[in-house]
Amino acid sequence: MRRGISILTAAGLAMTLAACGGGSSDDSTSGAAEETTASETGASGSLTIWVDDNREVAVTDAAKAYEDATGTTVDVVVKDFANIRADFSAQVPTGEGPDITVGAHDWLGGFVKDGLVAPIEFGDALADFNTVSTDAFTYDGQVYGLPYAIENVAVIRNTALADSTPATFDEMLAKGKAAGTKYPFLIQVGDEGDAYTMYAFQTSFGAPVFVQNDDGSYSSELGLGGENGNNFAQWLQDQATAGVLDTNITYDVAVDAFSKGESPYIVGGPWMISAFTDAGIDVAVDPIPSAGGETASPFVGVQGFYVNANSQNQLTATDFLVNYLGTEDSQVALYEAGDRVPALNAAADAVSDDPIVAGFAAAAENAVPMPSIPEMDSVWSFWGVTEANIINGTATDAPAAWTEMVSNIQAELDK
Amino acid sequence: MTDVSPRTDERVKQKEPRKVFSQATNWGPGFLTKLILMAAVNALGLYVLVNAYTAGSWVVFGGMALILVAVDYVYFSKKTLALKYLTPGLVFLLVFQIFVILYTGYVALTNYGAGHMVNKSQAIDAILMQNTRRVEGTAQYPLAVVRNGSDLGFAIIENDEVFVGTADQPLEAVDGATIDGTRIAEVPGWEILSMGEVTENQTDVLALRVPISDDYEADGAIGTQTGTTGFVFRSVLTYDDSSDALTNEETGTVYTANGSTGQFESADGETLNPGWRVFVGLDNFKDAFGDGRYAGPFVKVLVWTFAFAFLSVATTFLLGMVLAMTMNDERMRGRKFYRTIMLMPYAFPAFMTAFLFAGLLNTKYGFFNEVLFGGAAIPWLQDPWLAKLSVLFVNLWMGFPYMFLICTGALQSIPSDMNEAARIDGANGFKVWRYITMPQLMIQVTPLLISSFAFNFNNFNLIYMLTNGGPRFEDSSVPVGSTDILISMVYQISGLSGEASRNFGLASAMSIIIFIIVGAVSAYSFKRSRSMEGAQ
Amino acid sequence: MAFGRWFKEIGFRHVIGVIAVIYSVFPILFIISAAFDPRTGLTLSNDLFSQFSLENFTSLFNDTMFWRWFANTLEIGIFSALGTVLMGAAAAYAFSRYRFSGRKQGLLVLMVVQMFPQLLAFVAVFLLLMTLGDVVPALGLNSKMALICVYWGGALGANTFLMYGTFNSIPLELDEAAKLDGASHSQIYWTIILPLVTPILAVVGLLAFIGAFNDFVLANTVLSGRANWTLAIGMNQWVGGNERSWEWFAPGALIAAVPILLVFLFLQRYIVAGLTGGSVKG
């Protein structure tokens, strides 16, 4: 009996210890390979880069080239894109975080305000990039990141169902109806609205979210109110009544329906293309038609890489970005990973024979950069939800709901 | 929890020959096991202490020393019987739970958030870095980092001629240097650093400024960000340590540090970003209660939070209990099959459940409307009341297996002879349930129901992934909706969702308030519950 | 046995069982259907099982780190469950069998501490592990061991109560008799009490395993490197953003559910065996 007890005791507790021992030995190896803290890297010469799944391969190739050329080891850490902004914000102030992270340009204002990212001086090389992309990464006269790709929404057309995209919304709708499919036209809305995807139609009524300065940068003055904004709100309601806009059309529903050939037109970005081509749909990409008479300007988002302001390896990080990720080969490789138009002009030219890329690039000619000013954070949720409420009929007086939204956003900005 | 006397002592006191029973004086295998384990624990502890000492991490050192002393005392003293059983769990609880709460309390007293993410020295560094600019219209130079003894310097090419300088020595032309294409191959008297060496010294290289001429103010200085290209930089702002102020060299404006707001301010109120973290006392708590925009939705949200938490517990528990009792008859065949299938909702990743139901409940295309309700367009997630119902329904699906499990576990531990005795005495099924099973069950599960209440009170994931709080209140100026519970409201208005500017201080303060509310309610019901009687 | 009586005593249980089974599985049928449907997109068209192909599974196994994450999840879940059972049971035993000052308050504190909303934990946990990691790398960020330790921090919470009630239901006379026979307190605990409460240990173990299996917030904070991810982190990435990989997610979710069901099947024997064979009756 006694022996039994002690064996049981020993077994039970030994298991616990084994857990510690087993776990720790395993982790010290894998941990060392993956994670390198800033304090360790100063002397050994290594860089840590956060990327998301899509961009991993392309960045790894550039990292390999850098390792071979300089002997500096580069750790490519794959993160969920949705967490990168929050994790970067939380970790950089503690002295942790990566030396470089991938990110979207509209994070820039917040990053600069929080002192998290370091400016990069490109010198003459700046002219090699698409102006929209470098403008997007410029804050208060300084460039803070390496842009690598621009993305925007456009009209994606099922070539078997429609031969062209007319220049006005009403004509496109008529053509869509003539195609005789389940939907004349698809755009994702969802229960919380989708102000980003819808933005081109809003600008065609002359109601930009913030008023732009002469140099193209945004002021913090709201531009989406007034008569133009109310006209857009009324248009939303009219289209919803006609059944064209519908909050039940979520991203999944829209993509699924278009993949089944149920609509000739869908508003969407490069991220949708593979779903359509996999489903055997032959697509073309056209600029977004105007609904309100003025030019329809979608938002353009720029993807790029930021350098950690507290990094001990700023010099190597900048060198890697400017001289390796900024090259044509790397930018083409990044394009192949994500189908977005490269920010480097030479790379964009190299892939311009792809009609899809050319289509998005053509649609981007009218585009405006998504504002990166910190004020933008206060806008999104009011904006989308108000659109959704107008579309689903919760808000019966569309212009009044729109005006209410503008005053709510203004109150948030004044906080 | 120090004074310990075994529960049985009072009854067996008179015949207790302690010596014989005491483990410590018995060199049996049990004691040896303990010795070996304690040796291992002490070895681990010493390892941590040595590492903490070498790493200079005094907090860890102190904490580990305390833990080690406490653990050794507990396991080698004869007076600490209860603690022998409690200590392992308590150590982990203290380090990994209590710390989290205390830290949140600390954050609640600061202005940690957008614009105040970093500490003061980081803020100064960032401001200086952001305001170091390339002088407009100046050229860029191919550059090499050179060294002479311990002096670091730059060599640049201008008009096919090589210039070298250091921080103290303005650029001067050197004779005999060789240029290979656009790279400097050799500089007499200077050693050119390889990229690896530049990397090793990168902090110094980045900070190095080589004046172009003796007139530093007018011409600026060369710096580099890559070690291969040089630019003329000029610092717009300079920091003076003694006055703790930043001065703009171009306009002469002086920005002094304001320790109570955590920002550099000029005399006319202009501030520089970023600011830094400072203590703001109870300001966050005042904001949480004092801001009028939160007050209106707060009451609605609070009421719904209680209703949601209570109804979630009630529905899941009732369903789980009924199923557990139904399945708790040994004569029933296929119980294993039923039980396994009923566990499936629990076995599925929770985040997938929300995605799935959001699709199933789609007004036009969802399975519910299209198949079950014959094409009716019922706005499950858009109508305020239906959305509430849907949230409860989905939570029931996700939650009943847990209740089923704990009820099954608890029912197993109720001696079956009690039921049999009652039945022989003529009690019918309902009476047995009402007077025997139910009270026994409740004693065991009441604390779990309370903690389940608390869990649902903070069931952020479900709300966030299924409805994101929607449909939104139309009459509110903050982004809060009909199915928002307190924790998801905090998430929205404190900017953690990325839809408003982030304010960790305010979010922490609100978390503490929620903690106090749910803690007080739970403690009260816990004290009143019968389970405490069982604990006498 | 006549049908009427059979139905009254046993049969109705099957009726309830079948209803519960339908309720439990119908949403899951969608996932099963999507897992075998090679068309991309989680089809919302409700035409279940119109396609059948193993394409998605092949792609899942070849193009992703699914099995690596699967192994990580199992490792973390198993160790987390073992530790939770050992520590929780020990604490419950102490609260049930010993009287010490601060006992009632201790129970209350345990109850309340676990109610803290964990939403902001990522900042504190991050900071804590960063500090610990400088001293003991194995307990730093991106370590599975560190995550297991964080889970162990919650071992005492609800589990202590679950087990505390069960411990109380075991008569004290057993302890006393053993003590008179010369057993030490640890012998009583390990050889007499614990075997009697195996069912509740099994339940707690299963709950802890499932908890670790499903956790996203803490795991996502601690495990930064993809090779150390759990299924919850990795699979969330497939459907979180714009580019959705339902073709991986659906079969992945199906496979992910298997270990929990297996653990349950394995432990069911203990849960069901209960006290019937134990010495409590004697």
pLDDT tens track for B159-172: 888 899 988 888 88
Q: Is the predicted pLDDT of residue B262 greater than 80, yes or no?
A: yes
pLDDT score, position C282:
26
pLDDT tens track for A188-236: 998 888 999 999 999 999 999 999 888 777 888 899 888 999 999 999 9
Confidence band for B8, pLDDT divided at 50, 70 and 90: very low
Confidence band for C272, pLDDT divided at 50, 70 and 90: low
C15: closest CA of chain A, how far (Å): 37
Say yes or no: C87 contacts chain B, CB-CB below 8 A: yes
End-to-end Cα spacing for chain A: 72
Say yes or no: A314 contacts chain B, CB-CB below 8 A: yes
Say yes or no: A397 contacts chain B, CB-CB below 8 A: no
pLDDT tens track for A38-97: 333 334 478 999 998 778 888 888 888 888 888 888 999 888 787 888 889 888 888 888
Q: Give Cα separations from B127 to A280, B213, B253, B279 (angstroms).
A: 53, 26, 15, 21
Q: Would you say B367 and B431 are in contact if contact means Cβ atoms under 8 Å apart?
A: no
Contact C41 A27 (CB under 8 A): no
Contact B329 C20 (CB under 8 A): no
Contact B57 C135 (CB under 8 A): yes
* C227 → closest Cβ in A9, A19, A30: A30
Q: Which two tokens stand for residue B524?
A: 């009260």
Contact A378 B500 (CB under 8 A): yes
Q: Would you say C56 and C248 are in contact if contact means Cβ atoms under 8 Å apart?
A: yes
pLDDT tens track for C244-262: 677 788 888 888 888 888 8
Confidence band for A365, pLDDT divided at 50, 70 and 90: confident
Q: Is the predicted pLDDT of residue B291 greater than 80, yes or no?
A: no
Contact B130 A123 (CB under 8 A): no
pLDDT score, position C86:
93
DSSP label at residue A322: I
Please state, in angstroms and rounded to a whole number, the distance separating the CA atoms of residues C28 and C21: 11
Q: How many CB atoms lie within 10 A of CB A123?
A: 18
The residue in chain A having the minimum alpha-carbon distance to the alpha carbon of residue C147 is A23
Count CA within 13 A, CB hemisphere, residue B191: 11
Confidence band for A8, pLDDT divided at 50, 70 and 90: very low
- Quick one: which of B515, B524, B522 has its CA closest to B288? B515
Q: Give the best residue of C13, C33, C42 to mutate against chain B (max B CB count within 10 A).
A: C13
Residues in chain A closer than 8 A to C243 (CB atoms): 54, 271
Q: Would you say A190 and A251 are in contact if contact means Cβ atoms under 8 Å apart?
A: yes
Continuous H helices in chain C = 3-6, 12-35, 55-63, 66-97, 103-113, 121-135, 144-153, 157-168, 172-180, 185-187, 194-196, 198-214, 217-222, 231-240, 246-273
What B418-424 contacts at long range (C-beta under 8 Å, 24+ apart), as own/partner pairs, is none
* B225 → closest Cβ in A9, A85, A120: A120
pLDDT score, position A338:
72
Residues in chain B closer than 8 A to C127 (CB atoms): 103
pLDDT score, position C45:
52
> What's the maximum distance between 2 C-alpha atoms anywhere in chain B?
115
Residues in chain A closer than 8 A to B225 (CB atoms): 120-121, 314-315, 318-319, 322
Q: Is the predicted pLDDT of residue B454 greater than 80, yes or no?
A: yes
What is the β-pairing status of strands A265-268 and A341-342?
unpaired
Residues in chain C closer than 8 A to A19 (CB atoms): 79, 82-83, 145, 148
Residues in chain C closer than 8 A to B532 (CB atoms): 104
Q: Would you say A99 and A51 are in contact if contact means Cβ atoms under 8 Å apart?
A: no
Q: Would you say C153 and B96 are in contact if contact means Cβ atoms under 8 Å apart?
A: yes
Q: Is the predicted pLDDT of residue A353 greater than 90, yes or no?
A: no
The residue in chain B having the minimum alpha-carbon distance to the alpha carbon of residue C259 is B347
- Quick one: which of C69, A279, C214, C25 has its CA closest to B356? C25
Q: Residues of A numbered 230-269 whose beta carbons fall under 8 angstroms of chain B's beta carbons: which are they?
A: 246-248, 250, 252-253
* B531 → closest Cβ in C28, C135, C165: C165
At residue A273, the 3 state secondary structure works out as helix
pLDDT score, position C1:
58
The residue in chain B having the minimum alpha-carbon distance to the alpha carbon of residue C17 is B338
Q: A26-30, A57-61, B148-152, B340-344 — which is least confidently predicted?
A: A26-30
Residues in chain B closer than 8 A to C210 (CB atoms): 346-347
pLDDT score, position A4:
38
Backbone angles phi, psi at C172, to 5 degrees: -60, -25
A242: closest CA of chain C, how far (Å): 23
pLDDT tens track for C140-195: 888 999 999 999 988 888 788 778 878 887 888 888 888 888 888 888 898 888 88
Say yes or no: C88 contacts chain B, CB-CB below 8 A: yes
pLDDT tens track for B196-239: 888 888 888 988 989 888 776 667 789 998 888 899 988 888 89
- Three state DSSP letters for B214-282: CCHHHHCEEEECCCCEEEEEEECEEEECCCCEEEECCCCCEEEEECCCCEEEECCCCEECCCECCECCC
Continuous H helices in B56-136 = 58-76, 81-93, 99-108, 120-130
Please state, in angstroms and rounded to a whole number, the distance separating the CA atoms of residues B322 and B428: 17
Confidence band for B523, pLDDT divided at 50, 70 and 90: confident
* B363 → closest Cβ in A3, A85, A248: A248
Q: Residues of B numbered 444-483 whose beta carbons fall under 8 angstroms of chain C's beta carbons: which are they?
A: 444-445, 447-448, 450-451, 454-455, 457-458, 460-461
Residues in chain A closer than 8 A to C225 (CB atoms): 30-31, 34-35, 77-78
Say yes or no: B324 contacts chain C, CB-CB below 8 A: no
- Element of type H or E holding A157: strand A154-158
pLDDT score, position C41:
55
Residues in chain C closer than 8 A to A40 (CB atoms): none
Q: Residues of C numbered 102-161 whose beta carbons fall under 8 angstroms of chain B's beta carbons: which are they?
A: 102-104, 106-108, 110-121, 123-125, 127-128, 131-132, 134-136, 149-150, 152-158, 160-161
